[in-house]
Amino acid sequence: MVNHTRLIVFTDLQGTLLDQTSHSQHSSLPALRKLQALKMPVVLCSRQTRAEVDPLWRELAHEEPYIFENGGAICFMPGRAPFEDESADAEGKLKIIELGSRIGALRGGLAEVARRLNIRVRSFAEMNAKDAAEFTGLTRQQAQAAALREYDLFWFEEPGDP
């Protein structure tokens, strides 16, 4: 009897595929290469921005979709997703399916809440790279990529909305 079960591996990056301390993928490469040889798809999932995940995805020579910004969007090569979504936006040669809300709208809502409560809120994107790096422990380059957040999964509703 032939087993036609197809497995897909979903992996987080931080502390899973990437080393917790060095943030390197080198110790995971043998397992990744074996999965690739077995033609077993590996889908990268991360809280990081597309600007942070995309270089790793390209370095690993992945063709499977990757999920970024905590599920805010999925990036994939046309023809490589298990479905083709005609609403997906083309980004160069990649397509993106947006699942979350655009960060600009959320920041606007947050600013309005802060104004109403008379509090000061400083978003990560408002920090310069030096301050963001010091605050988070990231390098300046990593902080700049992290500031390129595009999506989040929160939304604001007007009173009375269902």
Query: Tokens 């023809």 correspond to what residue?
Result: 79
Q: Please identify which of the residues 12, 85, 89, 131 carries the catalytic annotation.
A: 12
Quote the CA–CA distance of 99 and 64 in Å, as a whole number. Answer: 18
pLDDT at position 103 is 81
Beta bridge partners of 97: 74
Rounded-to-integer distance, Cα 145 and Cα 142, Å: 5
Determine whether 89 is an active site residue. Answer: no
Enumerate helices (H) and strands (E) in the chain, giving the number of each.
Answer: 5, 8
Q: What is the pTM of this model?
A: 0.72
* Pure H helices in 4-155: 29-37, 50-59, 103-117, 129-136, 140-146
Residues lower than pLDDT 70 in the chain: 1-5, 80-92, 152-162
